[in-house]
Amino acid sequence: MMMIGVIWAALAPLLIVAAMAALAFALRRRGVARAWPIAAALMLAPMATVYWLERAAFRRICDDAGRAVIHEKAMADGFLLTSGTAYSFGMRYLSEGFDWIEMRDIYRRDGWARATRQADGATTLTPIDKPTARYEVRETFEQPRSGVGLSVTHVIDRETGAELARAARGTFDGGWMKWGLGAFGVSSCPSAYSDSNGFRRYYDLVKDTLR
């Protein structure tokens, strides 16, 4: 199934070409002159309009979410990581200067664990009774509208409840036009390609706030 999805994402625009060809053939059989240009206009004009409107809405959401903002900095050897990917992508924090991170224990329901970086670079996982970290990194996912997702990172002081920093990254799957555009309709903000500095501020938010 994954391979089918990859093939579709790359070749989806061919469906548009096939639909235009079918429409042009139907118009030609009815004796319509310049069947191909008319078919292209009938197909592409509404699609481009819908995509442009949805892409504009996505850009507004990106503007509202704003770039990475650090209200206050602190120093911490580790933190509580509240994230569904704590055991995978979350482990990257141990290679960014942090000595440990606390998280939900995947082996004990409602339990907690601490991942610690050893001197030799290895990682050990130790069950704990409850989190002790002062700071929490909370990663959430929001869907402000269909086709748009926001991955939001918050850095929070658990003692005061204050938010030290916040950053969001948005993704757009093409909206209504995703079935015809495939991967060519996908967009993100900040983009690692067109806005490398903005992407770095999002990706390094925790390190820039707590180190």
pLDDT in tens, 109-120: 889 999 998 888
* Distance separating alpha carbons of residues 104 and 114, to the nearest angstrom: 9
Residue 126 predicted with pLDDT over 90:
yes
Residue 9 pLDDT grade (very low, low, confident, very high; cuts 50, 70, 90): low
Number of domains in the chain: 2
Q: Is residue 6 very low, low, confident or very high in pLDDT (cuts 50, 70, 90)?
A: low
Say if residue 200 is in the same domain as residue 145: yes
Whether pLDDT at 189 is above 90: yes
93 class by beta-carbon count within 10 Å (0-12 exposed, 13-18 middle, 19+ buried): buried
Is there a domain that residue 57 lies in? no
- Residue 50 near residue 105, CB atoms below 8 Å: no
Confidence of residue 3 (pLDDT cuts 50, 70, 90): low
89 part of a folded domain: yes
Prediction pTM value = 0.82
Domain span including residue 145? 69-210
The reply to whether 46 and 78 lie within a common domain is: no
Q: What value does the mean pLDDT take over residues 135-148?
A: 94
CA of residue 128 relative to chain centroid, distance: 31
